[in-house]
Amino acid sequence: MEHITKSFGNVCANRDVSLQLRQGEILALLGENGSGKTSLVNMLSGIYFPDHGEIYVHGKKVTIKSPKDAFDLGIGMIHQHFKLVDVLSAAENIILGQPGSLSLSRKALNAEVRQLAQQYGFEIDPAKKVYDMSVSEKQTVEIIKVLYRGANILILDEPTAVLTPHETEKLFIVLKNMKADGKAIIIITHKLQEVLSVSDRVEVLRKGEFVAMVDTEKTTKDQLTEMMVGRPVSLKIDRPKMERGQEKLQVVGLTCLNADGIKVLDDVSFSSYGGEILGVAGIAGSGQKELCETIAGLYPAIGGAVLFGGEFEGTPVKESVLGLKPDEISRKGISMAFVPEDRLGMGLVAAMDITDNMMLRSYKDNGGMFVDRKKPKELADKMIDELEIHATGPNAIVGRLSGGNVQKVLLGREIAQNPSVLIVAYPVRGLDINSSYKIYDLLNWQKQQGVAVIFIGEDLDVLMEISDRLMVLCGGRVSGIVDPKEVTKEDIGLMMVQVAENEESSL
């Protein structure tokens, strides 16, 4: 790619950017949110067309106007946001649009997909519907879909954001095998340790422009961070020491079934206190999603209790909310905020602007037939300023914002409700370093305000650094609740795959 320039209205996403990818190498593409990484590779994969510049594949100038053009050139992209058909199975999504796919029997199709998955070390149920899948399983389908098409040039946009450490290691083995076979790979990731461990070269973008191209073996994490941000950045997460406050949430014996009648939560019990961050760890599909959605009133339970703690005339009281919908919980005067993992599916409306997304939390309070946008607009303006959201203003369409800015809009809206309990699911998934540490600061700030924060995450290093207590889920059960200062990462990893005899400590 030579001298690529691309603008969206008055915003220049890429300005005179060049990128060279060699056969048989892994190139890492780094940059903050809004630096132009995704827009650049979207032009290589046929999603966008450059305003200026040229693209060459194997030394030949090419024109890529559609994803089909890209596939015909052997270019395949795995997007950060999934592009799957929910009502189809894994296998059907993988072969969708492929010539001759309709002639395959279901048995032959499933066998073909299963064989490909086993070849690369993935675990997948070809017959499983996408709407029944975890985020990690959906990501696996996306990866296999590109492999099935035999791409020689692979572009992976945040591929490890939804993978466990073990799954990440397996993916990297696959990538290195592909590299050995002569495939050219671009990987977009904000996990610098991954960049250093898997890539051969690193290209850094900042504010849509080229900053540097360096050999991985000749650079360091601190140097890459400074190139990305433009200034030195501390990679330390603070953990303010606070006295444990009042019990704000108690979950007792919570049990839930999935659509097939299988237990996804099995007798889960724990408490969350004001002034602390309770981290939740576990491999994908261990019940994290169902846990937070059940507490928030979005997923049914067949047993147990969810109790919110408060005070009435100075006396501690507990209010049962199990089985209540979110608006019913709110009408009880319980202040709870929930930031789901699916930001644009459950949290925000992509087609609406920031102001209208603010209003989703308050429009029922108007009490009349007309909606007042003044306060939501003021809140949007305040958030854009305080959270450093890169947007043209409160009327900016949320779906056009970068991932980090979308997350700031969602988290900012929920924090603005002054919650007593804040539940966040994978709040930094796919975000760059600067945005991630801003989110960590916001969570710590909530903790210092006396909020009970429940942080469901996937990066064990981060969970152990920011959490006051850490609860580990395995197969829908609690395998332990520990002080992260007193255990090792290996201890937690073992708990994630093996339910301990004593399911909870005394913490």
Cα separation of 266 and 381, whole Å? 43
pLDDT at 430 over 70: no
Cα separation of 497 and 473, whole Å? 9
At 364-396, the pLDDT tens digits run 555 555 566 788 898 899 888 888 888 888 999
Q: What is residue 504's three-state secondary structure?
A: coil
pLDDT at 130: 92
Mean pLDDT, range 353-370, rounded to an integer: 72
**For a pLDDT cut of 70, what percent of the chain falls above it?**
92
Residues listed for the chain? 507
Cα separation of 373 and 376, whole Å? 5
Is the domain 2-229 a CATH 3.40.50.300 member? yes
pLDDT at 333: 85
At 206-265, the pLDDT tens digits run 989 999 999 999 999 889 989 988 888 777 788 888 888 899 999 999 999 998 899 999
pLDDT at 506: 42
pLDDT at 31 over 50: yes
Lowest mean pLDDT among 113-122, 274-283, 393-402, 438-447: 113-122
Question: Do the bridges between strand 421-425 and strand 336-339 make them parallel or antiparallel, or are there none, so unpaired?
Answer: parallel
Mean pLDDT, range 457-477, rounded to an integer: 92
Stated as kind and residue range, the H or E segment containing 11 is: strand 11-17
At 46-98, the pLDDT tens digits run 999 999 999 999 999 999 999 999 999 999 998 877 889 999 999 999 988 77
pLDDT at 364: 58
pLDDT at 49: 95
| Region at 323 (left for phi over 0; alpha for psi -120 to 50; beta for the rest) | left
pLDDT band at 402 (very low <50, low <70, confident <90, very high): confident
| Region at 476 (left for phi over 0; alpha for psi -120 to 50; beta for the rest) | left
Average pLDDT, the chain: 87
pLDDT at 122: 78
Domain with CATH 3.40.50.300 in the chain: 2-229, 276-300+324-497
The residue among 333 and 464 whose pLDDT is bigger is: 464
| pTM attached to this predicted model | 0.68
At 97-146, the pLDDT tens digits run 777 766 778 888 899 899 888 877 778 899 999 988 876 788 889 888 88
Is the domain 276-300+324-497 a CATH 3.40.50.300 member? yes
Distances in Å between the Cα of 112 and the Cα atoms of 89, 141, 283, 285 are 14, 14, 27, 25
Residue 279: HSE in the Cβ half-sphere, 13 Å Cα cutoff: 25
Provide the residue type at 326 as one letter.
P
pLDDT at 369: 52
pLDDT at 311: 58
pLDDT at 355: 92
Q: What is residue 90's three-state secondary structure?
A: helix
pLDDT at 169: 80
Could you give the residue ranges of the DSSP H alpha helices within 231-353?
288-295, 326-331
Mean pLDDT, range 140-167, rounded to an integer: 82
pLDDT at 458 over 80: yes
Beta bridge partners of 295: none
Return phi, psi of residue 396, to 5°: -70, 135
